[in-house]
Structure 1
């Protein structure tokens, strides 16, 4: 008579045995060559309480060792990293993602129901692509405006730093620079970010990090349109170096017809002018603080009105009050200043021999006369060896 399977043998067949973990780029680290240790059935998952394969590695130099905290089944159910429990696509907490996509969490909380639910989920996942999220709500939902504003576009490796050295806080650390922990002031214990529960983060309830991000999203500035309805140009700043006009047109043409697009590579900016004001407002609303090209978040601003720019600048200048004691207008210049050479007298001839003949130019009608006295010997032409020209008129 064949023996029936015991409960322990049946449950052990559903234990996880994987070859590589499901990690985000931040937890994996910036080093492409890392060494991982693999422990089969090393610990139990902190969500479903089933044994799973534990991986342990160091993400980089001067970083702390990290390990997987939940099994791959729970990770695929929420599409999160096995270590930090952040969304793999946006790098945000589960509570923020579910609030933005309006996803209702239907995962059972009871231990028996949870185990039955996950076992059925494992059998369904074997029939489909194991790399896709198992939650049907995550497959059908698209990106929202809140996710695009809060999503991380680059890895945040600062999160892998070591913990604070408790001996250094008490003033008893003797390792100095060889200490693998941080010698910094610890976080205030009253700070809600210092107390985080992994189950609350996974189920998306009472997450202090998610609450901080939601408050930041509520305080983000908006881009109101200008009052001048003739403005249909958007300024695009913080462009990557290798961006092209065709790539920018591919991003902005979906909001309306573009009249012209001017790219300024030296200033890393561009100007997009739409044919209608409605298309420009729609593009500003959809791209402000959300558009990312080449790993850089672009700066979106409204252009200035070229027709009214000069008028506005003149009207903004304050009127200067007259200074007391000064005349309101300057007196007219003398006639000699306006006419250095009177019409009735021709200008003096330009002859090289008359260079030192000062008496030739001392005509009162020409509006110029030499000083009455010589202040320096070098001003006397006779002492320099000059002689008056024979044909020069005598006065």
Structure 2
């Protein structure tokens, strides 16, 4: 009689071919790959998996798979670059536009349990893929158009270039033109602080933050410099109740908890609503998500989202501020 399977036991993952995007696969139609079964552990679920290694083309560095096929299918991402397979965008940008909740198990036991549950869910479908959530299926056309607009039209093979030579950065490389690495001065753009788990789960991704900020700026939704402003204003709303706006907000941004909304008030005469959050971080994340979705939809009508403004200082506070400005000018 076979032993009873343990849901918390670390399993293994085997595959015949990797799940890759066109950029990582390379422009060469005849790619030779080496295959090593259970060569490394997945950087997400920590299970041993089949590692593939190949050269995408002339002048490119050798690339390999970093996560297992199960984790790639769960997020629909490439096993190497961890970008979305449909749009070629970071998962944080995609999930913000489609209103998806980022699930991130923390402990090893939770990771193993979550992976096995997802495997069973995919095995029960005819396509072998996870079904879209209702929020993703009902995503607005504006959100999908935004993703298509940000997506690259052609493969980005420049991503396969060799890494920068660390000896050249220190001024100690003696190989010259024979050095297989790039002789360039690295630029500080935040990518050096990114890790694989954050890129996979769509949190604290510097590339995604840059893309979302640029899109919000193009829509006139730039976060104000005053960090005390934590209010978003929804304009052009239909006749609705406070609960209608709250429900639409929570469904559009599933990362928001009820306790993170400090106050929500509706001005019926102006067809607008004022929503104040408990901290600036959740307000900025909500603004980015709603900007990616083309606004907030309440009772079938889509409203515009803008930042609130700081209140003018009054009384003693105003006098102190004026005195401070006069002193600075002097």
TM (norm. structure 1) is 0.51
Q: Encode CA deviations 1:4-36: one digit per residue, 9 max, x unaligned.
A: 35869x946x42110100000010011001111
Is the alpha carbon distance of 1:3 and 1:38 closer, same or farther for their aligned partners in structure 2, counting shifts above 3 Å? closer
Aligned partners of 2:110, 2:210: CA distance in 1, in Å? Answer: 33
Match 1:216 to one of 214, 217, 230? 214
What RMSD, in angstroms, separates the aligned Cα atoms of the two structures?
2.5
Q: Deviations over 1:276-310 (max 9, x none)?
A: xxxxxxxxxxxxxxxxxxxxxxxxxxxxxxxxxxx
Partner residue, 2:182: 182
Closer, same or farther: CA 97–70 of 1 in aligned 2, 3 Å: same
Give the deviation of 1:139 after TM superposition: 6.3
Q: Does the Cα contact within 8 Å between 1:78 and 1:134 map onto a contact in 2?
A: no
**Which structure has more RCO (C-alpha within 8 Å, separation ≥ 6)?**
2
Q: 1:197 maps to what in 2?
A: 195
CA contact (8 A) 1:37 1:55 kept: yes
| Structure 2: tracts of 5 or more residues without a match | 221-330
The 1:11/1:39 distance shift into structure 2, 3 A limit, reads: farther
Deviations 1:367-393 (A, max 9, x none): xxxxxxxxxxxxxxxxxxxxxxxxxxx
Deviation of the 1:215 alpha carbon = 1.8
1:19 aligns with 2:3: no
Taking the aligned partners of 1:131 and 1:177, their CA distance within structure 2 comes to 48
Higher helix content, 1 or 2: 2
Matched residue, 2:64 = 67
Structure 1 residues 335-374: aligned runs within 5 Å = none
Question: Per-residue CA shift, 1:73-112, capped at 9, x if unaligned?
Answer: 1111111111111000001001000111111123433321
Kindly indicate whether the alpha-carbon contact (under 8 Å) linking 1:76 and 1:134 is maintained by their aligned counterparts in 2.
no
Aligned length in residues: 217
CA contact (8 A) 1:38 1:53 kept: yes
Q: Counterparts of 1:106 and 1:199 in 2: how far apart (Å)?
A: 12
Instruction: Classify the secondary structure of the residue corresponding to 2:158.
Output: helix
Measure the CA separation in 2 of the matches of 1:137 and 1:79: 17
What residue ranges of structure 1 are gaps of 5+ in the alignment?
Answer: 223-395
Give every structure 1 segment of 4 or more consecutive aligned residues whose post-TM-superposition deviation is greater than 4 Å: 5-8
